[in-house]
Chain A
Amino acid sequence: MAQLFRPSVNTIARLVILGGLGLVFGGVGLAYLFAGSPYQTGATLIREQPVAFSHQHHVAGLGIDCRYCHSSVETSAAAGMPPTYTCMSCHSQVWNQAPMLAPVRQSLEENKPLEWNKLHQLPDYAYFHHGIHIQKGVGCVECHGRVDQMPLMWKAEPQTMSWCLDCHRHPEGRLRKPEDVFKMDSPRLPVEEGLELLKTHNIPVDRLTNCSVCHR
C-alpha cells in the first residue's frame, strides 16, 4: 500500500487545527478591540467644523469660563450650545473683520444658525444629564478631557457604556471639589475624600447602575 500524503502533511494538519482554534478565539478578541477602537467610538478624532474654533485659545488663552457659552450646563440635561449672538457679543468688537469668523457674521446676517459637527454623540436611547453630574462634583475634564489644550475640539474619551459604568460603579476616585468642577487643571479628590463626598452629596452608588438611570 502506497502513502497518500507526504510526511510534511502531518505538521500541516496539526497547524491547520491549531489555526482554526486561534481563528475562533482571536476573532472574538479582535471584534472586542474593534468595538472599543476610535474607529468605532470616534474618540480622539478631530472633525471639520464650520469655524475653526479653538477651545485652547478661549479657555486657556482668554480664561473664559465653560458656563459663559455652555450656559445651561449646571441645571439642564443639555449643556447648551452658544447662540450666534454669544459669539458676536465679543466678536462684534474684536476680530470683527477676521475672515475666519465670516461664517459667524453670515449666520447673524442671514439669521441662519451655524451647524457644528457633533463630536460627543450618545445613542438616542442613552439619556445624559449634565446638571446632575456637575452638581455631584464630576468635573468637565472627566468626560471631555483637557479641552483647554485642544486647538480643535476632539472627543477625549470613548464614551462607551462600559466607560460610563467605570465611573458609575466607583465615582469616589473621579470627583472634584465643587469649586474645582469647571477648572481644567484641578486635581481629583483623593479616594477617601471622594468617599466622604459620596456621603455629603448623597450619591447612592448602589443605584447608579440601575438601567433607568440612563435608559428610558
Chain B
Amino acid sequence: MAQVHSTHGHEDNGHASSEILGGHQSYTTVTDTIADVVLKRPLGKAWLFGFAISFALLMMFLFAVTNLLVRGIGIWGVNIPVGWGFDIVNFVWWIGIGHAGTLISAILLLLKQDWRTSINRFAEAMTLFAVACAGLYPLMHMGRPWLFYWLMPLPNTMALWPQFRSPLEFDVFAVSTYATVSLLFWYVGLIPDLATLRDRATNPLIKKLYAIPALGWRGSAIHWHRYRTAYLLLAGIATPLVVSVHTIVALDFTIGIIPGWHTTVFPPYFVAGAIFSGFAMVATLAIPLRSYFGLKDYITDKHLDNMAKVMLVTGLIVTYGYMIEGFMAWYGANTYERYQMLVDRPTGAYKHDWWLLILCNCVMTQLLWFKSIRNNIILLWLISLVINVGMWLERYVIVVISLHSDFLPSSWGMYHGTVWDYMTFYGTIGLFMTLMFLFVRILPAISIAEMRELVHELHERDEARTQATPPAARTV
C-alpha cells in the first residue's frame, strides 16, 4: 500500500531577491506573507477605523441617491446652459483612475515589466471599483434614471433602438465592456491564488468559500498552458480597450460643438490624463497599504520611483495638451474658441479653478524630476494626492467652463455644485474605499502565483549568472 509521507513545505526552494523584491524570498515566503495577510492577520484598529469611515460615506451616498430619485435631478446644481456638472466630471475622473489598473496589469505585462507583478492585483481591483463608481454617474445623471435600459439594444414593443451615433451610446458599450473585461482579467488572475488560499485555509468553511470560486484549480501543466495563453490574450485585448474607452469618453466632448469641447487633441491627452490620475491613485493607495501590511519587500521604493516617473511623463503630456488647446484656439482664429480658451478660462468667472488646475497638474508634477523627491515617500504621497485633485479640476474646467459661456452671450450662465452634488461625490469615494478595504482583507492584495513566478525567474537569473551551463528549463 502506498505509505503516506507527511509532506510539509518546510524545505525552502527557489530563492531570490532584487531591487523589486526585497529581502531573501522563496516560493514559501511569498506565499506565506501574502496569504497570511488574508488568512491569519487579525482585524487591526486602523483597518476598522478606515472601514468605518468609508462605510459611513457609503451610507451617505445611498441617502443622496435616494433623495435624487425621489425629488429629481433638480436637487443638483445643473441648469441651462450648464447641463452637466459634478455628474460627468466625476464620471470621467473615476474612469480615468480606473485606467491605470488596466495599464499596469495589461500593458506592462506585454512589455515584460516584471515590477508590475507586485502591484497589478490591487491596481486591477482599483480599476474595477473605480469603474463601478464611474458607471453609477451616467445612470444617476439621467432625468428619468428608471428608463436607463432604453440605452441598450433590447427587444421592445416600441420597435425602437438606441441612437448609435451618440457618444453617450458609445459610452454605454465602452464602459460596460471595460467593466466586464477588467472583471474577467482580474478573476482569471485570481484563480490560482484562490486555490492557494483554499489549500492553506484551516477553517473548513473558509476553505469551501475559497474553493468555490477557485473552480477546482489544481495547477495542472495543461491548464497552466491554456491559462497563460488566455491571460496574455486578455492583456492584449485590454490594451487597445483601455485606450478606446478613454478615447470614447473624450468623444463625449469632442463630438460636441461647444468651444472648449470641439478639439481633436482630447483623445490622446485624455488617455494620458487617465494614466496620470490612475498612477497617482495607485501611489495614493499603495504607499499606506505596503507600510500597514508590511509589504515593503514586495512594493519597494523602486516601484514607487517607477510610478513617479510615469506620473511625470504623463503629467508632461497633459501639460502639452493644455498648451495645444490654447495655441490652436489662438491659431485657429475661431472667436468663440479664442474667447473660451484665452479669455474666459484664465480671466473669467472660473479663473480660480483653472489656475489651481495648472498649479496641480503642470507645476507640482515638475517636482518629480528630482530623485530625492521621488524617493521621499511622504512627499510622493502628497504629490499623488495633489494630482488626484488636479485631474478632478481638469474635468471640472472642461465640462463647466466650456458650457457656461458658449456661443450666444445671452444664454451664458453660472454653475455651482449643491450640497447634494458634494454628498454624491464623497459618497462614491466612500463606496470605492469600502470595496478597497474589503478587498485587502478578503483577497490577496498581491498576486501570489505571479510572485512565485517572479521568484522563480529571478532565481533562474541568479543561477544563469553563477552556472556556465544554461538551465534545462526556462520560464516564460
Contact = CB atoms under 8 A, between A and B. Distances in A.
B156 interface: yes
Interface string A1-29: 10011000010010000000000000011
B159 A162 contact: yes
A172 B207 CA distance: 68
B157 interface: yes
Interface string B144-187: 00000000001111111000000000000000000000000000
Contacts of B288: none
A178 B212 CA distance: 70
Nearest to B158: A161
A161 B198 CA distance: 54
B159 A10 contact: no
A35 B207 contact: no
Q: Kindly name the residue among B199, B208, B212 whose own CB sees the greatest number of chain A CB atoms within 10 A.
A: B212
B156 A35 contact: yes
Say what secondary structure dominates the interface of chain B: loop
A204 to B, nearest CB: 19
Contacts of A161: 157-160
Contacts of B154: 28, 32
Nearest to B212: A13
Contacts of A163: 157
A76 interface: no
B211 interface: yes
A52 to B, nearest CB: 31
Please classify how large the interface on chain A is, using the bins under 10, 10 to 19, 20 to 34, 35 or more. Answer: 10 to 19
A4 B157 contact: no
A161 B161 CA distance: 13
A1 B216 contact: no
A162 B158 contact: yes
Interface in A162-181: 162-163, 165
A35 B157 contact: yes
A160 B157 CA distance: 6
Given A1-B199, A4-B211, A160 B155 contact: no
B9 to A, nearest CB: 13
B159 A4 contact: no
Nearest to B211: A4
Contacts of A36: 157
B205 to A, nearest CB: 11
Interface residues of B, number: 15
A199 B212 CA distance: 67
A46 to B, nearest CB: 22
A156 B420 CA distance: 49
A20 B215 CA distance: 16
A12 B154 CA distance: 30
A158 B157 CA distance: 10
Interface string B419-434: 0000000000000000
Contact of A4 (B160, B198, B215): B198
Contacts of A29: 155
A40 B158 CA distance: 13
A23 to B, nearest CB: 15
Nearest to A4: B211
A36 B198 CA distance: 48
Nearest to A29: B155
Nearest to B155: A32
Given A4-B207, A5-B211, A10-B216, A32 B198 contact: no
Contacts of A35: 156-157
A193 B164 CA distance: 37
Nearest to A33: B155
A160 B211 contact: no
A91 B157 CA distance: 43
From A4, A10, A161, A165, residue with most partner B Cβ within 10 Å: A4
Q: Among the interface residues B159, B198, B212, B215, which one has the most CB atoms of the partner chain A within 10 A?
A: B159
B172 to A, nearest CB: 16
B199 A160 contact: no
A161 B158 CA distance: 5
Nearest to A9: B216
Contacts of A4: 198, 207-208, 211
Contacts of B211: 4-5
A36 B158 CA distance: 10
Interface string B398-431: 0000000000000000000000000000000000
Interface string A27-70: 01100100110001100000000000000000000000000000
B76 to A, nearest CB: 26
Interface of A: 1, 4-5, 10, 13, 28-29, 32, 35-36, 40-41, 158, 160-163, 165
The list of the 10 closest CB pairs from A to B, nearest first, reads A162-B159, A160-B157, A161-B158, A32-B155, A35-B157, A4-B211, A165-B159, A162-B157, A36-B157, A28-B154
28 contacts: A4-B198, A4-B208, A4-B211, A5-B211, A13-B212, A13-B215, A28-B155, A29-B155, A32-B154, A32-B155, A32-B156, A32-B157, A35-B156, A35-B157, A36-B157, A40-B157, A41-B157, A158-B157, A160-B157, A160-B158, A161-B157, A161-B158, A161-B159, A161-B160, A162-B156, A162-B158, A163-B157, A165-B159
Interface of B: 154-160, 198-199, 207-208, 211-212, 215-216
Given A160-B158, A162-B159, 7 more contacts: A4-B198, A5-B216, A28-B154, A40-B157, A41-B157, A161-B157, A165-B159
